[in-house]
């Protein structure tokens, strides 16, 4: 249902209805009860206020004319783009605005899925066709509930109970990228991803190595196999021992996960215009990055922005 003040708006349907005009001091996991480190939360040196505009985004009010909106840099993402755990001035969107002297529009939502992000980008492309769009894609495991009668905030699905494989997630992500690219026309779209997405591979490597070293027999190779094919080509005696330990199926699962994530990383490297960066600081909530990481991210964006 359209509100009276939305009738003359550009993109009148682009908003987070439950967040409109809110001003709060805590949001999501950026609260004393939900943060990852209470001591860090209490000693964080900066004041934080979440001031949301009439559309429900952590942003100022948007320009009213399509021509003005076309010259803005449109920034899309999840809570990292919204800037959970940090002051407004520490967000990468505001830093980008100060570095380019161009109005940057922040379209982001706590817990946003890549499906949500892609839908919003396509809506903006079709209506405004801005010169510059920057996307910081989110976790691939997040999905949307299909019920379109629900508002965006209620359609979030963390995917934790899903049986989707890494291959499924990769396929879904590729489809979203293609959907966006098909309608971009002359818009400059810069694809990036939240910092630290390759950490999952490191965790799996560590788990595989831990299992291998705890079970390794006298004649086993020093290092674990790289994939299932190498595992199955090991000496039959080693495979027999692994089977006795009831570990071989779990090891196969981990090896396949590592292969899938490596494929995912290779895909990112082909798709993304901004190389992955690792978080260098933490916001008040102990999870989201702060101004040092955001500034490095923006430094990587600047050469890719159309300035005309």
In this structure, is residue 267 part of a structural domain? no
Q: Are 192 and 136 in contact (CB under 8 A)?
A: yes
Based on the fold, state whether residues 224 and 188 are members of the same structural domain.
no
Q: Please provide the average confidence, as pLDDT, over all residues in the chain.
A: 89
The single residue listed with the structure tokens 């910081």 is 136
Based on the fold, state whether residues 192 and 222 are members of the same structural domain.
no
The single residue listed with the structure tokens 């080693």 is 238
Based on the fold, state whether residues 252 and 160 are members of the same structural domain.
no
In this structure, is residue 11 part of a structural domain? yes
C-alpha 85/C-alpha 30 separation (Å) is 5
Which range has the top average pLDDT, 42-51, 212-221, 241-250? Answer: 42-51
How many structural domains comprise the chain?
A: 2
Task: Answer whether residue 5 shows pLDDT above 80.
Answer: no
Based on the fold, state whether residues 182 and 241 are members of the same structural domain.
no
When pLDDT is cut at 50, 70 and 90, the band that residue 28 belongs to is: very high
C-alpha 238/C-alpha 85 separation (Å) is 49
- Which tokens is 106 given? 């922040």
In this structure, is residue 261 part of a structural domain? no
Based on the fold, state whether residues 33 and 70 are members of the same structural domain.
yes
More confident residue, 274 or 100: 100
Identify the domain containing residue 96 by its residue range: 4-197+276-304
Res 195: pLDDT: 82
Based on the fold, state whether residues 115 and 33 are members of the same structural domain.
yes
Based on the fold, state whether residues 178 and 205 are members of the same structural domain.
no
Based on the fold, state whether residues 149 and 67 are members of the same structural domain.
yes
Based on the fold, state whether residues 132 and 152 are members of the same structural domain.
yes
Based on the fold, state whether residues 218 and 188 are members of the same structural domain.
no
Task: Answer whether residue 272 shows pLDDT above 90.
Answer: no
Based on the fold, state whether residues 85 and 141 are members of the same structural domain.
yes
Based on the fold, state whether residues 244 and 161 are members of the same structural domain.
no
Overall average pLDDT of the 275-287 stretch? 90
Q: Are 165 and 260 in contact (CB under 8 A)?
A: yes
Overall average pLDDT of the 67-82 stretch? 97
In this structure, is residue 251 part of a structural domain? yes
In this structure, is residue 66 part of a structural domain? yes
Task: Answer whether residue 197 shows pLDDT above 70.
Answer: no
Task: Answer whether residue 166 shows pLDDT above 60.
Answer: yes
In this structure, is residue 270 part of a structural domain? no
Q: What CATH code is carried by the domain that includes residue 171?
A: 3.40.50
**Vertex 246: Cα angle to 240 and 250 (nearest 5):** 110
In this structure, is residue 144 part of a structural domain? yes
pTM: 0.82
Overall average pLDDT of the 199-228 stretch? 83
In this structure, is residue 269 part of a structural domain? no
């Amino acid at each position: 249902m359209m509100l009276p003040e939305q009738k003359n708006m550009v993109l009148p349907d682009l908003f987070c209805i439950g967040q409109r005009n809110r001003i709060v001091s805590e949001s999501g996991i950026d609260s004393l009860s939900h943060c990852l480190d209470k001591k860090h939360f209490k000693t964080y040196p900066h004041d934080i206020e979440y001031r949301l505009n009439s559309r429900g985004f952590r942003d100022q009010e948007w320009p009213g004319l399509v021509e003005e909106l076309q010259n803005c840099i449109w920034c899309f993402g999840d809570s990292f783009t919204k800037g959970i755990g940090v002051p407004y001035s520490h967000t990468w969107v505001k830093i980008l605005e100060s570095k380019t002297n161009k109005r940057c529009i922040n379209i982001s939502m706590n817990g946003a899925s890549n499906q949500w992000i892609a839908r919003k980008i396509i809506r903006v492309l079709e209506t405004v066709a801005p010169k510059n769009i920057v996307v910081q894609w989110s976790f691939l495991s997040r999905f949307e509930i299909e019920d379109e009668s629900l508002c965006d905030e209620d359609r979030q699905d963390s995917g934790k109970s899903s049986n989707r494989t890494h291959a499924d997630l990769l396929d879904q992500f590729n489809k979203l990228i293609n959907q966006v690219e098909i309608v971009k026309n002359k818009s400059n779209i810069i694809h990036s991803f939240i910092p630290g997405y390759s950490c999952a591979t490191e965790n799996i490597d560590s788990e595989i190595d831990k299992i291998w070293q705890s079970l390794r027999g006298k004649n086993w190779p020093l290092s674990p196999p790289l994939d299932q094919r190498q595992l199955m080509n090991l000496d039959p005696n080693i495979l027999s021992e692994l089977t006795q330990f009831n570990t071989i199926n779990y090891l196969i699962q981990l090896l396949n996960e590592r292969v899938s994530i490596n494929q995912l990383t290779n895909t990112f490297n082909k798709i993304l215009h901004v190389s992955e960066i690792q978080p260098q600081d933490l916001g008040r909530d102990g999870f989201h990055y702060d101004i040092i990481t955001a500034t490095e991210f923006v430094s990587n964006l600047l050469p890719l922005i159309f300035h005309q």
